[in-house]
Amino acid sequence: MTVAAAGARDRWRSWLTGSIVTLVCIGFAWSFLDLGESARSLSAMGGWAWVNVIGLSLLMAMLRAMRVALVARVQPIAPLVKASFLHGAANAVLPARMGEAVLPLALARYGGFDLLRAVGLLIIVRIGDLVALAGIGLTLIALLDVAHLHPALRVLLAAAGIVLVFAVGTVPFLVRLAGRVAPALVSTAAARIAAAGAHLTLASKGGLVASTLAIWFVLALAAQISVNAAGLDTGFPAVWLACVAASFAFALPLNGIASIGPFEAAFVGVLAAAGAPAEAALTAAIHLHLSALIAAGLVAVAAFMFPARQTDRSLCH
């Protein structure tokens, strides 16, 4: 079997698996929730809720592009923004995390990046996202006391969460360290991947922490608007925790088409645990997800407005 044929087979397998996951989640929702009520509530939502959440989703795309430019530290930034926009749009719709490959490929094509160094940049931002989400989640669990933990344990969880959030700034160093200790067989490739974080200053690492935290804070703000528009009065910490759970579900390798299903299940699960009616929570989750998909489409169109000029290759290798 040729490489092209194997790739096509894997893509079809991912789409089939994603379709099954989405259909299974819809089936469970159909069995246990009143989807008609959620649909009626969704259709009754005001236009400003859609505008605000789509606007905040677009702001998230801009923050992600700024973070890529911050880590890449090359000029001009237009090709970097183009690559980040294409990456975000692909991630929003493709199953099985196939969209992750778009960022390094687009950086190589439009920004003149060495492909493996672009992979290193992707690793930095994605590990940073997961570490930040874990830190935010631990801190919110401690604040909300959803598990009725001992006070000392709550303090410990909150402290661990705060440390994890600031640890995002150490991710470039850890990637470089992994490149240095890689086995000789892959040392050349590992060194090229690790080079993505070799030039970051302390200020750049602080910017990486701040931009990552800002991205997930903006998502929580968007979710709060969706929750309020669905008629819920759930507090911001619980809404942010629901976003953390939904984002982890979004990051699962086994996922639905456009993450439809697991995203909503995680979001609804947390809000229901916080006392919200499941149907209203589902309305908010669908509103947030649909708004994000609309924003992804707008971002994809905007990506083609940016020039495909290549950056100075001397800075990219």
Tens-digit pLDDT string for the chain (317 aa): 564 555 566 667 777 777 777 788 778 777 777 777 787 888 888 889 999 999 999 999 999 999 999 988 887 788 899 999 999 999 888 876 788 889 999 999 888 888 888 898 999 999 999 999 999 999 999 888 666 778 888 889 899 999 999 999 888 888 877 766 655 545 566 677 767 777 788 888 899 999 999 999 999 999 999 999 999 999 999 999 999 999 998 887 777 777 888 899 999 999 999 899 999 999 999 999 999 999 999 999 998 877 665 544 444 45
Are the CB atoms for 25 and 259 separated by under 8 Å? no
For 40, 115, 250, 315, the CA distances from 222, given in Å and listed in that order, are 21, 34, 16, 37
- What's 36's DSSP letter? H
Gap between the Cα atoms of 292 and 296, Å rounded = 6
Are the CB atoms for 316 and 114 separated by under 8 Å? yes
Q: Helices in 145-235 by DSSP H: which ranges?
A: 151-167, 171-180, 187-194, 202-229
Are the CB atoms for 86 and 105 separated by under 8 Å? no
pLDDT of residue 311: 47
Residue with tokens 């959803």: 146
- Structure-token pair, residue 213: 């935290």
- Structure-token pair, residue 208: 């990486």
pLDDT of residue 57: 96
- Structure-token pair, residue 280: 């209203």
Q: Any idea of the CA torsion for 159, 161, 165, 170, to the nearest 10 degrees?
A: 80
pLDDT of residue 88: 92
pLDDT of residue 314: 43
Q: Shortest CA distance to 237 belongs to which of 153, 167, 158, 130?
A: 158
Are the CB atoms for 231 and 280 separated by under 8 Å? yes
Angle at 299 between CA 223 and CA 265, to 5 degrees: 35
Residue 167, judged by CB atoms within 10 A of its CB (0-12, 13-18, 19+), counts as middle
Residue with tokens 């089939």: 16
For 124, 189, 196, the CA distances from 182, given in Å and listed in that order, are 17, 9, 16
